[in-house]
Amino acid sequence: MDSALALQLLIQGILLGGVYGLIALGLSLIFGVMGVINFAHGQIMVMGMYASYWIFVLLGIDPYVSLVAVAAIIFVLGYAIQYLVVNRILDYPEAMQVLPLVSTGLILENIALLLWGPDHRSPQTALGLDSIWMGPVMVDTSRVIAFSLAILITGLIFLFLKKTTMGKRIRAASDNRTGAVLVGINVDRINNFSFGLGAATTAAAGCLLVPIMPISPYIAHDFTTAAFIVVILGGMGNLPGAMAGGLVLGVAESLSTLVLPATLKQVVSFTLLIIIILFRPQGLFGGKK
Amino acid sequence: MLKVHDIDVYYGDMQALRNVTLDVKKGEITTVIGSNGSGKSTLLRAISGILRPKTGSIQFNDKEITRTPSSGIVEGGISHVPEGRQLFPTMTVLENLEMGAQFSHMQKSAKKTMQEVFTFFPRLKERLSQKAGTLSGGEQQMVAMGRGLMSRPRLMMLDEPSLGLSPLLVSTIFEIIKQINESGTSILLIEQNVFQSLKISNHGYVLENGTIAHQGSSDQLLGNPHIRKTYLGL
């Protein structure tokens, strides 16, 4: 086995894993606060990717620059989904919460299909084809930027949750809903905000992927699944675990191409999922029930 | 200051409270005693706006609060220290206390209020950076009461603060409740520890199967033969 290739794949895996981590962070945040699994997560991310794509094609603004605006747009989308759909199903059993969110995902996917069609789109962004040498291996500049920004955004979200009053309210509601209601926190508003924040997070991750991979409406559920697996790996509702789980999945998928054809990379993620569920159902780093 | 008038409260089809009428007078400690399942916690939940009475009304300082949402109840000056404490276990003691002050007028005086909390619970000062979930039961109860004080309530409702604590700690907690009351906060206390709670309170109500079975001054209740027999085993 070629060790330079293995190192190359390892680094690529870590870089992509950071973005997986960011996507999963949004999912974990939503789960932590509301106990709802957002089965429209990948679809929301793809909406973010298309928003970024549109801004790039129509206005010529690079995805890295428009990221904040896209996150804001998708925050509104997430807030609306929470308000219109999720708030109505919070008290239902988990199994019944699945369908409305899966349907939301299908609706978003078909909206994307109507607006942009089924073709793959790969915008030629400024840094899309650049690469840099890191010692003996060559990596795409866009992947390095994606990873760095993913880590930066994760850091900012942690800072927000740790330091701001709103962030503390979100943590309080996630820790103990009854307690949060009793101290006077408007938990409905926290729910809306958290879903918006979770959606904005995954949209930001989507923007980071725009220069790396072709966009199509159909990539969405792969990402929903990936995010779900990452969250289970890291522990449900465990936010640092989501980032760590993202890195694990990124590296595992990437290294698997040494021995498996790339089209079989989902075998790797599902194998990981099954192993975790069998031997450590609380996730690698522990989580909420 | 708090007037609960003839409320009926249901959980689905099951009636938990029937024609409950209760008065908390300003500056006093009012105790509600009763066995498990008699509806004590339900009463507090109805006052806090977590449950809605089907009939009847609740007034606080002559303002109708029967349909006010929980956040409005807290903002209006009632704090609820719930059964089981309901702390935020992964947040620090300091953060738990901060979360007790949700509205701007509470946040403005939060630093000062926290100092007052420390005079009641000096122990919390040493635990500020510790996660609430890692504290002992007694310390958690202190955090819960401290958090309840952070909203500078005019009425503080305590749901079984002595539950699961050692006898020595129980006495301390009751002593502190008395001090909180003396500092100007009216108290509605719910307890199974009948003797100690009636000892520190002015008025008492006995809740049995969702209705008020007895009421009177605490001394009267302590002297009532039925209560002596049923709740004190004398």
- Distance (Å) from the alpha carbon of B99 to chain A's nearest alpha carbon: 7
Give the C-alpha separation, B57 to B94, whole Å.
36
Q: State yes or no: pLDDT of A289 exceeds 60.
A: no
Within a domain: residue B67?
Answer: yes
Buried b (16+ CB within 10 A) or exposed e, A190-203: bbbbbbbbbbbbbb
Interface test with A, best of B71, B98, B106, B147 (most A CBs within 10 A): B71
Percentage, residues of chain A above pLDDT 70: 98
Please give the DSSP secondary-structure letter assigned to residue B99: H
Provide long-range contacts, Cβ within 8 A and 24+ apart, for B208-211: B208/B34, B208/B35, B208/B38, B209/B38, B209/B39, B210/B15, B210/B16, B210/B17, B210/B18, B210/B20, B210/B38, B210/B39, B210/B42, B211/B17, B211/B18, B211/B19, B211/B20
- Distance (Å) from the alpha carbon of A50 to chain B's nearest alpha carbon: 37
Using CB atoms within 10 A of its CB, is residue A109 exposed (0-12), middle (13-18) or buried (19+)?
buried
- Put simply, the answer to whether A172 touches B87 (Cβ < 8 Å) is no
Q: How far is CA A182 from CA A186, A217, A281, B72, B148, in A?
A: 10, 43, 32, 10, 9
- Distance (Å) from the alpha carbon of B157 to chain A's nearest alpha carbon: 11
- Distance (Å) from the alpha carbon of A169 to chain B's nearest alpha carbon: 7
Using CB atoms within 10 A of its CB, is residue A289 exposed (0-12), middle (13-18) or buried (19+)?
exposed
The two three-digit tokens of residue B47, written as one number: 């006052």
Residues of B with Cβ-Cβ distance to A186 under 8 angstroms: 69, 71
SS3 B165: coil
Interface test with A, best of B48, B85, B91 (most A CBs within 10 A): B91
The complex's ipTM works out to: 0.92
In sequence order, the β-bridge partners of residue B191 are B33
- Put simply, the answer to whether A175 touches B89 (Cβ < 8 Å) is yes
Query: Per mean pLDDT, which range of A105-114, B32-41, B43-52, B87-96 is the poorest?
Result: B32-41
Q: Which of A165, A179, A181 is facing B88, going by the closest CB pair?
A: A179
A243 contact partners, CB below 8 Å, separation of at least 6: A18, A21, A22, A24, A25, A154, A234
* Tally of domains within chain B: 1
In sequence order, the β-bridge partners of residue B156 are B79, B187
Residue A162 in contact with partner chain B when CB distance is under 8 A: no
Amino acid found at B160: E
Place of tokens 């975790």: A276
- Put simply, the answer to whether B50 touches A186 (Cβ < 8 Å) is no
Residue A171 in contact with partner chain B when CB distance is under 8 A: yes
- Dmax (CA) of chain B: 50
Q: Which residue of A has its CA nearest to B75?
A: A184
- Put simply, the answer to whether B99 touches A175 (Cβ < 8 Å) is no
With contact defined as beta carbons under 8 Å apart, do B89 and B131 qualify? yes
Interface test with A, best of B90, B91, B93, B99 (most A CBs within 10 A): B99
Confidence of residue A266 (pLDDT cuts 50, 70, 90): confident
Residues of B with Cβ-Cβ distance to A183 under 8 angstroms: 74, 79, 99-100, 102, 147, 151
Q: Which of A165, A169, A182 is facing B82, going by the closest CB pair?
A: A182
pLDDT at A125: 81
Place of tokens 């609740």: B58
Give the C-alpha separation, A231 to A276, whole Å.
11
Domain ranges within chain A, ordered by starting residue: 10-116+136-218
pLDDT at A286: 75
Q: Residue B193 belongs to a domain with what CATH number? A: 3.40.50.300
- Distance (Å) from the alpha carbon of B208 to chain A's nearest alpha carbon: 26
With contact defined as beta carbons under 8 Å apart, do A208 and A254 qualify? no
Rounded to 10°, the helix A3-34/A220-234 angle is 80
Rounded to 10°, the helix A239-256/A141-163 angle is 160
Residue A164 in contact with partner chain B when CB distance is under 8 A: no
Within a domain: residue B176?
Answer: no
A247 contact partners, CB below 8 Å, separation of at least 6: A13, A14, A17, A18, A20, A21
- Put simply, the answer to whether A183 touches B102 (Cβ < 8 Å) is yes
Question: Once rounded to an integer, what is the mean pLDDT over residues A18-25?
Answer: 96
Q: For chain A, what is the mean pLDDT?
A: 92
In sequence order, the β-bridge partners of residue B9 are B17
pLDDT at A288: 62
- Put simply, the answer to whether A183 touches B95 (Cβ < 8 Å) is no
Residue A175 in contact with partner chain B when CB distance is under 8 A: yes
pLDDT digits (tens, 9 = 90+) for B121-178: 999 999 999 999 999 999 999 999 999 999 999 999 999 999 989 999 999 999 999 9
Residues of B with Cβ-Cβ distance to A180 under 8 angstroms: 88, 99
Give the C-alpha separation, A258 to A256, whole Å.
5
Q: State yes or no: pLDDT of A128 exceeds 90.
A: no
Amino acid found at A32: G
**Which one is predicted more confidently, A102 or B36?**
A102
The residue segments making up the domain with residue B14 are 1-77+156-167+188-234
Nearest to A236 by CA among A84, A73, A33: A33
pLDDT at B36: 86
- Dmax (CA) of chain A: 61
Nearest to A209 by CA among A225, A198, A220: A220
The two three-digit tokens of residue B107, written as one number: 């946040």
pLDDT digits (tens, 9 = 90+) for B164-215: 899 999 999 999 999 999 999 999 999 988 999 999 999 999 999 999 999 9
- Put simply, the answer to whether B91 touches A183 (Cβ < 8 Å) is no
Q: For chain B, what is the mean pLDDT?
A: 94
pLDDT at A1: 58
Q: Which residue of A has its CA nearest to B94?
A: A168
Amino acid found at B52: R
Within a domain: residue B140?
Answer: no
Question: Once rounded to an integer, what is the mean pLDDT over residues A79-86?
Answer: 94
Q: State yes or no: pLDDT of A287 exceeds 70.
A: no
Residues of B with Cβ-Cβ distance to A158 under 8 angstroms: none
Question: Once rounded to an integer, what is the mean pLDDT over residues A98-116?
Answer: 95
The two three-digit tokens of residue B130, written as one number: 């510790």
pLDDT digits (tens, 9 = 90+) for A151-198: 999 999 999 999 999 999 999 999 999 999 999 999 999 999 999 999
With contact defined as beta carbons under 8 Å apart, do A132 and A141 qualify? yes
